[in-house]
Amino acid sequence: MSQPETQPEGAGRDRRGEVLGHAFPLGDWGEPAERLDELYQWVEQRALAMVDWYLADRTRKRRAARVLRAGTALGVVGGAVLPLLELTGVLGGVLAPLAWGYLSLSGAVLCAGCDRWFGLTSGWMRDVATAQAIQRRLEALQYEWAAESVREVLGPAEGTAAEAAERCLGVLRRFSEDVSELVRAETGDWMVEFRTGPVPGLSHNPPQPGWPRRPSEPSWAGAPRFTLPPG
């Protein structure tokens, strides 16, 4: 059970869908140390591929978000400057600055709405946070695995070889569960944003069926129509 010095071929190149679809590797446990090294490389490859997927997705979303945010800023500036130019008479009768100002503001609203609608800015921020969290957890795994390797070289102070192998499997299992939880949390945040976003018809509270209620009677409904004279 030695610490691998090189990453397995193809690590960090797959996409998240392919990584999550990989089956658990089968092998011969006649050599437990070699088998544990293979499992470590498999777990590390999946984590690196997830980090690569999130960073690649971050790049695409960030570029699109920057274009839309730049369009929003230019639209706001144009909507504020063009009416002022019309007031000062700089442009004269060449064009209608006020109309172009309204059009510029409409373009700014459209760009901001597209960014919000497609979740580009919030999406690439989630990608960065998830990739960093997986990377930090992977670094912790590498140090834990190095500690187990040193313990094996120096000789186990307590327990048998079977207990040492079980302890190593527990380290890999906890790491896989932590990474899966990070991916699940990011997906849950995306689902919450998608449901609560400005998309019409995606409310998670369907209307309750039933007959329409009768309007409540006014307070004077039970009073007599005419007031009787006293006595």
Q: Is residue 228 part of a domain?
A: no
pLDDT for position 167: 87
How much is the pTM? 0.66
Question: 24-58 pLDDT, tens per residue?
Answer: 777 677 777 788 888 999 999 999 999 999 999 99
214: phi then psi, degrees, rounded to nearest 5: -75, 140
Q: Is residue 111 part of a domain?
A: yes
Residues of the chain with pLDDT under 70: 1-22, 27, 90-95, 155-159, 197-231
Q: Is residue 201 part of a domain?
A: no
What is the count of structural domains for the chain? 1
Q: Is residue 207 part of a domain?
A: no
pLDDT for position 63: 92
pLDDT for position 162: 78
pLDDT for position 30: 73
CA distances from 42 to 53, 145, 173, 180 (A): 17, 14, 12, 15
pLDDT for position 135: 94
Q: Is residue 229 part of a domain?
A: no
Q: Which two tokens stand for residue 90?
A: 């700089």
Q: Is residue 159 part of a domain?
A: yes
pLDDT for position 74: 93
Q: Is residue 21 part of a domain?
A: no
> DSSP alpha helices (H): ranges in the chain?
16-20, 32-88, 97-118, 120-154, 161-196
pLDDT for position 126: 92
Q: Is residue 14 part of a domain?
A: no
Supply the range of the domain harboring residue 110: 32-194
